[in-house]
């Protein structure tokens, strides 16, 4: 795949925050960039991979990606790593020792927080990692700042030989604005210099580096006090002043353009003197931060009288419709129009559009089958297959974190009580998630003699974040050929007995149903691997679409239970059976323009009313009129 040549020097480009960071990474002379995809951070590495003169990789998980970047930084080269907020939970094992060793070449770690829970299982605040690991944190407020702060972060990283966290949020990652960019400046790594006392973190060496870490943090606080990234913007309305950072700064300026504001771009270590300077200018200080009260707590510990989460919510974005009423109440003013209490306010009454799987998704057959098998406890995982928890399948009982389906399923098995003694335990996990963090759980399950049936859904892509490549599909980040993992051999190597490993086509419902029903009865670890590609990647080949013969449709609704979005209910009715029982009827049609011909809906159709679509002959225009 050919690299995209960069724009000329001093260009102005319309870039998202992710694209702006990628551009800065390239301009900074970075040699190695690594990540695991996760919304809202994914596009950073995707964009970086289009630039020449650097190495980029999709790693199998965030911990490995950070370790790859650390190795490059130890070697004196500039390195970059990015992940979403929950990814740092995985990578933190490396981070918490990296803070002691420091780096030689510059290392920037971009963490994308999902404020507002657009696509995540929690809303954690990654600014904590700056405090926990004693490393500096930069917080851009728009794409231009994301670009500029990335460049500044590499310079600071090398000056203090410390990794720098670039804390972003969905509102920065995905929103576009004009960015003035430059050109790449080459950076030559000095090579790895052996120093076991620094890089071999056995207790005796680590203990000696802890005082250095704390001294570095004190030195960084001095830099933060004078940094232009932390600036006070004066205002004429001094009743309330604000201390804020990131996109919350934009919300403050929109809501209160005349108020004094301390904008924190270099937000950790916190510049206490600068905060006192702002406080001296105003009657009251309000801390506007998404989402935890970190700055508020630190300033109160310094003796500053500040207001924060007493009046602002502890979750969600602090948009103007949240800020304005909160400050109005503080000042005893009338509430503005469109005032809301916070993010928990009831949503507007719009037509519900719950997320669902794609037309012909290979996971549809899996969850349809699971919904038909009784007496199961189903442990789920992170990916597009998490949607199996929804209607019409309702076939997922837990979802916690990447790879958790394995350990939770084993715990359900070992911890079952009297009420669950007859329940069968099933774990569902995707291919990329399995490679990310599921392999260890399966190994633990085998080693500890679990009684669990594992459904390993191999759709040859990191589906939820956009179909990125992984070791399971034989392509690297550039789309070039790479070694492809054989999942059957892999799970066999992890100790699953060969007779308990099955590879099935998830579109063949009778085979899938029979395999699941038989394996859940076996008191051992079983792995059922489904082997059809995601419908949105090039590996998938569309077949002839289907349609419903109206006269044959009895309204049984069996096809609806498959959950394919191409099936639409046209009318509903009721029927009284000879037994006197009243049943609901649902008559359907298939949207042939999107149907891919997977055949899932055909198999449960009792009256055989679903057949291949016969397209109408196109109109042919002839002299004097037209004909079919």
Q: Where are the domains of the chain?
A: 12-226, 231-331, 362-530, 546-612
Q: pLDDT per residue over 374-408, tens digit each? A: 999 999 999 999 999 998 999 999 999 999 999 99
- Please tell me whether 534 is known to bind a ligand: no
CA 154 to chain CA centroid, nearest Å: 25
Q: What is the pLDDT of residue 2?
A: 43
| Whether 546 contacts 601, CB under 8 Å | yes
> According to the per-residue pLDDT averaged within each range, which of 465-474, 598-607, 614-623 is highest?
598-607
Domain at 362-530, CATH from 3.40.50.970, 2.60.40.1120, 3.10.20.30, 3.30.300.130: 3.40.50.970
pLDDT at 465: 87
Write out pLDDT tens, residues 110-132.
999 999 888 888 999 999 999 99
Torsion over CA of 293, 295, 301 and 304, rounded to 10 degrees?
-110
Q: In terms of pLDDT, which residue wins out, 607 or 165?
A: 165
The pLDDT of residue 346 is above 80: no
How far, rounded to the nearest angstrom, does the alpha carbon of residue 277 sit from its chain's CA centroid? 38
70-98 average pLDDT score: 96
Contact 451, 425 (CB under 8 A): yes
CATH number of 231-331: 3.40.50.920
Element (H, E) at 492: helix 487-493
Which pair of tokens denotes residue 333? 């003013």
The answer to whether residues 395 and 388 touch, using CB atoms and an 8 Å cutoff, is yes
- Tell me how far CA of residue 486 lies from CA of 3, 21, 240, 359, in angstroms: 30, 35, 62, 27
Same fold, 362-530 and 546-612: no
pLDDT band at 621 (very low <50, low <70, confident <90, very high): low
Is 601 annotated as a binding-site member?
A: yes
Measured CA to CA, the distance from residue 151 to residue 25 in angstroms comes to 7
With residues binned 3-state (H G I as helix, E B as strand, rest as coil), the percentages for the chain, rounded to 5, are 35, 20, 45
Q: pLDDT-based confidence at 1, cuts 50/70/90?
A: very low
Task: Quote the pLDDT of residue 627.
Answer: 44
In terms of pLDDT, which residue wins out, 273 or 537? 273
Instruction: Confirm whether residue 384 is marked as ligand binding.
Output: no
CATH superfamily of 12-226: Thiamin diphosphate (ThDP)-binding fold, Pyr/PP domains (3.40.50.970)
Share of the chain above pLDDT 90, in %: 82
- For 515-529, give the DSSP string: HHHHHTTSSS-EEEE
The helix or strand, by DSSP H or E, that contains position 20, with its residue range, turns out to be helix 17-27
Tell me if 523 sits within 8 A of 451, measured CB to CB.
Answer: yes
Q: Is the pLDDT of residue 351 over 90?
A: no
What's the pLDDT score for residue 116?
A: 86
User: Has 358 been labeled as part of a binding site?
Assistant: no
Which residues lie closer than 8 Å to 312 by C-beta, 6 or more apart? 286, 288, 318, 322, 323, 326, 342
Whole-number pLDDT of residue 340: 55
435: DSSP letter: I
Average pLDDT over residues 579-604: 91
Amino acid 623: pLDDT = 57
- Is 81 annotated as a binding-site member? no
**Residue recorded with tokens 């971009």:** 110
* Angle 517-518-522 from CA coordinates, rounded to 5°: 120
Q: Would residue 83 be called left, alpha or beta, if left means φ above 0 and alpha means ψ between -120 and 50 degrees?
A: beta
The pTM score is: 0.89
Eight-class DSSP state of 468: B
Say if domain 546-612 classifies as CATH 3.30.70: yes
Question: What number is the average pLDDT over the span 469-493?
Answer: 93
Burial 35-70 (b: 16+ CB within 10 A, else e): bbbbbbbbbbbbbbbbbeebbbbbbbbbbbbbbbbb
CA atoms within 13 A on the CB side of 395: 23
pLDDT, averaged across the chain: 92
Is 82 annotated to bind a ligand? Reply is no
State what percent of residues in the chain have pLDDT above 70: 94
Q: Which two tokens stand for residue 246?
A: 């990131």
Under the banding of pLDDT at 50, 70 and 90, the label for residue 466 is confident
pLDDT at residue 6, as a whole number: 53
Using CA atoms, how far apart are residues 398 and 120, in angstroms rounded to an integer? 15
Q: What is the pLDDT of residues 193-203, one digit of tens each?
A: 999 999 999 99
The contacts of residue 405 (CB under 8 Å, 6+ apart) are 379, 380, 381, 398, 399, 427, 428, 429, 438, 441
Give the position of tokens 């990474």: 25
Which of 83, 1, 66 lies closest to 465, judged by CA?
Answer: 83
What is the rounded radius of gyration, in angstroms, for the C-alpha atoms of the chain?
28
User: Any residues with CB less than 8 A from the CB of 138 and at least 6 apart, and which?
Assistant: 149, 152, 153, 164, 165, 166, 167, 229, 265, 266, 267
Tell me what the mean pLDDT of segment 344-367 comes to.
80
Higher pLDDT, 579 or 323: 323
The 10s digit of each residue's pLDDT in 401-421 is 999 999 999 999 999 988 888
Question: What residues have CB less than 8 Å from 263, skipping those under 6 apart?
Answer: 141, 230, 231, 232, 233, 244, 245, 249
User: Does residue 135 surpass a pLDDT of 50?
Assistant: yes
| pLDDT higher than threshold 60 for residue 628 | no
């Amino acid at each position: 795949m050919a690299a995209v040549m960069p724009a000329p020097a001093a260009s102005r480009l319309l870039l998202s925050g992710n694209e702006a960071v990628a551009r800065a990474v390239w301009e900074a002379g970075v040699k190695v960039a690594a990540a695991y995809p996760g919304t809202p951070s994914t596009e950073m590495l995707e964009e970086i991979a289009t630039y020449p003169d650097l190495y980029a990789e999709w790693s199998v998980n965030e911990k490995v990606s950070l370790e790859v970047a650390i190795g490059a930084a130890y070697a004196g080269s500039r390195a970059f790593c990015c992940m979403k907020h929950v990814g740092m939970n995985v990578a933190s094992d490396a981070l918490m020792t990296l803070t002691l060793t420091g780096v030689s070449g510059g290392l920037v770690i971009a963490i994308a927080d999902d404020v507002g829970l657009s696509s995540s299982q929690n809303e954690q605040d990654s600014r904590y990692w700056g405090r926990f690991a004693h490393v500096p944190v930069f917080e851009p407020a728009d794409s231009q700042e994301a670009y500029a702060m990335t460049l500044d972060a590499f310079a600071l990283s090398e000056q203090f030989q410390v990794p720098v966290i670039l804390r972003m949020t969905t509102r920065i990652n995905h929103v576009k604005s004009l960015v003035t960019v430059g050109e790449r400046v080459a950076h030559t790594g000095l090579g790895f210099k052996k120093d076991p006392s620094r890089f071999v973190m056995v207790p005796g060496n680590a203990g000696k580096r802890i005082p250095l870490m704390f001294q570095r943090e004190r030195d960084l606080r001095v830099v933060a006090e004078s940094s232009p990234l932390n600036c006070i913007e004066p205002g004429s309305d001094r009743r309330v002043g604000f201390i804020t950072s990131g996109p919350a700064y934009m919300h403050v300026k929109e809501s209160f353009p005349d108020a004094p504001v301390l904008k924190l771009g270099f937000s950790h270590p916190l510049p206490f003197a600068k905060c006192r300077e702002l406080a001296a200018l105003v009657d009251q200080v309000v801390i506007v931060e998404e989402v935890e009260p970190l700055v508020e707590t630190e300033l109160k510990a310094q003796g500053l009288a500040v207001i924060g989460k007493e009046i602002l919510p502890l979750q969600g974005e602090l948009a103007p419709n949240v800020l304005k009423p909160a400050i109005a109440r503080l000042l005893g003013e009338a509430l503005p129009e469109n005032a809301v209490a916070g993010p928990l306010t009831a949503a507007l009454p719009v037509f519900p559009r719950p997320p669902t799987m794609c037309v012909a998704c290979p996971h549809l057959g899996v969850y349809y089958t699971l919904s038909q098998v009784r007496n199961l406890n189903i442990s789920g995982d992170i990916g597009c297959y998490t949607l199996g928890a929804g209607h019409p399948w309702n076939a997922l009982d837990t979802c916690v974190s990447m790879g958790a389906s394995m350990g939770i399923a084993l715990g359900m098995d070992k911890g079952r009580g009297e009420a669950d003694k007859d329940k069968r335990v099933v774990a569902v996990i995707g291919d990329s998630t399995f490679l990310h963090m599921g392999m260890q759980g399966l190994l633990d399950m085998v080693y500890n003699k679990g009684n669990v049936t594992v459904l390993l859904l191999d759709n040859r892509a990191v589906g939820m974040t956009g179909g990125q490549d992984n070791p399971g599909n034989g392509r690297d980040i550039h789309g070039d050929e790479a070694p492809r993992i054989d999942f059957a051999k892999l799970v066999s190597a992890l100790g699953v007995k060969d007779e308990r490993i099955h590879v099935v086509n998830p579109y063949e419902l009778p085979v899938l149903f029979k395999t699941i029903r038989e394996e859940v009865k076996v008191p051992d670890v079983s792995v059922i691997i489904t082997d059809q590609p995601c419908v949105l990647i090039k590996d998938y080949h569309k077949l002839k679409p289907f349609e419903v013969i109206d006269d044959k449709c009895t309204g049984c609704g069996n096809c609806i239970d498959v959950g394919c979005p191409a099936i639409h209910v046209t009318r509903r009715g009721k029927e009284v059976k000879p037994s006197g029982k009243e049943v609901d009827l649902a008559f359907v049609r298939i949207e042939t323009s999107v149907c891919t011909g997977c055949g899932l809906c055909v198999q449960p159709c009792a009256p055989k009313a679903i057949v291949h679509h016969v397209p109408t002959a196109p109109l042919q225009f002839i002299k004097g009129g037209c004909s079919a």
